[in-house]
Amino acid sequence: QVQLVESGGGSVQAGGSLRLSCAASGYPYSSYCMGWFRQAPGKEREGIATIDSDGSTSYADSVKGRFTISEDNAKKPTAYLQMNSLRPEDTAMYYCAADPFPWRCPIPTINSVPMDYWGKGTLVSVSS
């Protein structure tokens, strides 16, 4: 059984930084797309950063230049999200997702395909 567990959320002031982690267990495939999504109250869920098994990354315009997705080559699949220069509009529940198909990774494609595995989310709150 595949399990994804997010950690690292919290409260921070605008301009601050947080690092989210997503640990996957029981993942049976060598190929993957790992993605970070977020959903703010009253808004649709959006994919914001992805990384695939070839190391290719993709970002939403809203986080480009501020957020960085990475992985631990010794613990694949994993996904970290370094979030810098946080803004109040970054406040949301952040979810990690995984899928066996790297072609689903590019943003915005990932917003219209069903990811197979999801974590329960971690809350990020940014105050002004």
pLDDT value at 25 more than 90: yes
pLDDT value at 74 more than 90: no
The DSSP-derived string for 17-65 is -EEEEEEEES---S--EEEEEEE-TTS--EEEEEEETT--EEE-TTTTT
> Quick one: pLDDT at residue 33?
96
Q: Which residues pair with 59 in a beta bridge?
A: 49
Could you give the CA distance from residue 4 to residue 105 in angstroms, rounded to a whole number? 17
Banded model confidence at residue 99, pLDDT cuts 50, 70, 90: very high
> Quick one: pLDDT at residue 75?
84
Question: How high is the mean pLDDT of the chain?
Answer: 95
Q: What is the mean pLDDT of residues 54-65?
A: 96
Hey, what are 46's tokens? 């959006």
Could you give the CA distance from residue 2 to residue 47 in angstroms, rounded to a whole number? 20
Contact of 69 with 24, CB cutoff 8 Å: no
Q: What is the mean pLDDT of residues 99-121?
A: 93
Q: What is the mean pLDDT of residues 75-85?
A: 94
> Quick one: pLDDT at residue 12?
98
Closest CA to 102 of 70, 56, 71, 69: 56
Closest CA to 53 of 72, 34, 81: 34
